[in-house]
Amino acid sequence: MTTCDLIPLIQEVVDCHPALEILHAPEEGVGVATDSIDKYILTVVTRVFYSVNQSRTGKISLREFRHYSDLGMVLHQLDSNEDINTETKYFSYQHSPCYITHALTWILIAMVFFIFAIFNAIKDMH
């Protein structure tokens, strides 16, 4: 199994799991956040490979999949749990770099708008 083999499976989780609707939410003036989706999928695939591909060959062998993978069990748990962040091994959104980047970006944007509001208020007072 290669990374390319996992991408459609992870894409299906992204498309169907209710907790990941935030990835499909259009950002103001941008549309669907495909960059966030791609980064999230890459993060999950990397987590799976780091955990399962013990030989570090870039390909998960059948032996590695049988001995080290709990991906099937994790996918089954996702079906019955709407909070994807309870599964912290592969799919947790709050522990992924794209979530952290997304959250920090919105914090910075809010701070910039606040600073502009202060400057405008000061300007209006004079």
pLDDT at residue number 29: 46
Task: Please state the domain count of the chain.
Answer: 1
Query: Which residues span the domain enclosing 15?
Result: 3-93
Over the stretch 26-52, which tens digit does the pLDDT of each residue have? 555 444 567 778 888 888 898 899 999
Q: Is 105 among the domain residues?
A: no
Over the stretch 83-124, which tens digit does the pLDDT of each residue have? 887 777 888 766 555 556 656 666 777 788 888 888 888 888
What separation in angstroms does the CA of 96 have from each of 25, 34, 79, 102, 123?
17, 16, 20, 10, 41
Q: Is 64 among the domain residues?
A: yes
Q: Is 107 among the domain residues?
A: no
pLDDT at residue number 63: 93
Q: Is 87 among the domain residues?
A: yes
Q: How far apart are CA 46 and CA 48, in angstroms?
A: 5
